Structure 1
Amino acid sequence: MKKPIRHLLAMLALLSPLSAFAAEGPVLEKAPIDIHDTESLQRGAQVFVNYCLSCHSATSMRYSRLTDIGLSEEQIKASLLPPDGKIGDLMRVSMDAKDAKLWLANNPPDLSVEARSRGADWIYAYLRGFYRDPSRPTGWNNAVFDKVAMPHVLWQWQGDQVIDTARPVHAGEPPVLKLVKAGTLTSLENGRATTVDYDRRMADLTNFLVYMGEPAQVKRQQIGYAVLMFLGLLLLPLAYFLKKEYWRDVH
């Protein structure tokens, strides 16, 4: 009996440094996700197509699926579809892969299932976590993705943020400001949008990325509720009469 206990203690000792390392990571704010909010999804789709789709593809998503979030085919063709595109096309980026590697050093990842891979909270914090860093080739770094290669394409909206590593993080500050390294982010509020408006736009974009990771999830949930209600209505009477039969001799 002593040998298995010693093995268990050894495993716990090996895992404790990993848990301590994970605790040092950024504490992420909960992303305000609601895939049933079609207006938010429509706004997020517009931001995605106009800004993200210039470099990042979404090859598991078709433009035609945007009808599921309340857009008509005419609206999709007018504001979201490329001039030479068709409604059934995949959301592919027009930039050549070789050019992308030459210009950006790496091919930008496909974003079809990025929200399922990273998590909505991580993406929401990432989109709001860019700050000025002259040591980086692009002039930008990110609070949750240190030494990120991607430039801050939405900086005109958000404006500049600077990091202050001299000022410690205090309790009660927004969780997204708690960085991997000690310090806080400060917005200079010199963008086109206020911090509140920018955060709302990034919430819409995050919401759309979550939806895009599984476009059928809304319908799947609706079917699941209907199936549970059907089974409940079907099985409850059977369970009641079965109980009556079992307890007939007792009563």
Structure 2
Amino acid sequence: MRKLIIAALLLLSPTVLLANAEGPALQSSNIDLHDQASLQRGAKYFVNYCLGCHSLQYMRYNRLAKDLGIDEVTLRENLLFGDAKPGALMENAMRADDQLKWFGVVVPDLTLVTRWRSPDWVYTYLKSFYVDSTRPYGVNNLMFPLVAMPHGLSNLQGVQEPVFDHHQAGATPVVVGVKLVKEGLLSPKEYDNMVRDITAFLTYAGEPIQLERQRLGVYVLLFLGFLFILAYLMKKEYWKDIH
């Protein structure tokens, strides 16, 4: 037993260290995967603002439409561009060579980004861009220092400046937050709602079967509970005459 306890502590120690590591605080995305309207808006925002660079290579347009209650006419008019077909994967036309030339890195696919990073991280990231004249595209990100991508939603969010920590004398100031100095086309509340919808959509895209899995899990647990009662009653019946 002692060895098992030690082994468990060793396995959990990296997680504990990671949880206690200093870093920007994540904001709660507070998404609701049951909110179909939010997922539909998120799909629209992603296709219009993100799909030009980032792909969802494991998601098909018609699967998205079926899950989110989008009819084919709406799908073709609002989510399909160029030569894309309803049964096609959600990929973009940007070549890897061009990505390296323009951004210095291959642009990541975002199908599993919320499973890798977490929905709260994605939500906070999309709200954490700030002006930085030293970067190629003039912006940096609190959650992802030295980020290579431009802020594709800057005209909607507005301009944010970094907040520095100057408490350590002689040390290089550290960016600890951001503040909005100029509003964009959306108010802060409207932008938050938009980012929340995008985060919800990406969370759905990372595991489209999630809600169905949770629904079936309830029935599985109920069945196991019923089976346990039957097993217990059978045990009592078999052992009732044995003292």
Partner of 2:24 in structure 1? 26
Whether 1:198 aligns to 2:191 is: yes
8 Å Cα contact 1:56/1:110 also seen in 2: yes
SS in structure 1 of the partner of residue 174 of structure 2: coil
The SS at the match of 1:28 is: coil
Q: AA paired with 1:123?
A: V
1:65 counterpart letter in structure 2: R
Normalised by the length of structure 1, the TM-score is: 0.81
Provide the residue aligned with 1:158 in structure 2: 157
| 2:84 matched residue in structure 1 | 85
Q: Give the strand-richer structure, 1 or 2.
A: 2
Q: Where do 5+ consecutive residues of structure 1 fail to align?
A: 169-179
Going from structure 1 to structure 2, the CA distance change for 1:88 and 1:181 (only over 3 Å counts) comes to same
Contact 2:111 2:206 (C-alpha < 8 Å) held by counterparts: yes
After TM superposition, give the deviation of residue 156 of structure 1 in Å.
0.7
* Number of equivalenced pairs: 228
- Is there any run of 5+ residues in structure 2 with no aligned partner, and where? 168-172
1:44 maps to which residue? 42
Could you tell me which amino acid in structure 1 is paired with residue 186 of structure 2?
A
The 5 A counterparts of 1:123-138 are 123-138=122-137
Residue-by-residue CA offset, 1:186-223 (whole Å, 9 max, x unaligned): 11242111111111111111111111111111111112
Query: What is the CA deviation profile of residues 41-78 of structure 1, one whole-angstrom value per residue up to 9, with x for unaligned ones?
Result: 11111111111100011111111111112212222112
Counterparts of 2:41 and 2:21, CA distance in 1: 34
Segments ≥4 residues shifted beyond 4 Å: 247-250
SS of 1:77's equivalent? helix
Q: Which residue of 2 aligns with 1:55?
A: 53
Question: TM-score, normalising length from structure 2?
Answer: 0.83
**Is contact 1:31–1:124 with CA below 8 Å preserved after alignment?**
yes
Provide the rounded CA distance (Å) in 2 between the counterparts of 1:212 and 1:21.
Answer: 26
The CA distance in 1 between the partners of 2:22 and 2:201, in whole Å, is 29
Change (3 A) 1:228 1:19: closer
Aligned to 1:64: 62
Distance in 2 separating the partners of 1:22 and 1:231 = 37
Q: Tell me the distance in 2 between the aligned counterparts of 1:79 and 1:240.
A: 58
What percentage of residue pairs aligned between the two structures are identical? Answer: 41
Q: 1:35 to 1:244 in 2, by over 3 A?
A: same
RMSD: 2.8
How far apart, in 2, do the equivalents of 1:200 and 1:52 lie? 16
**1:89-100 alignment runs, 5 A limit:** 89-100=88-99
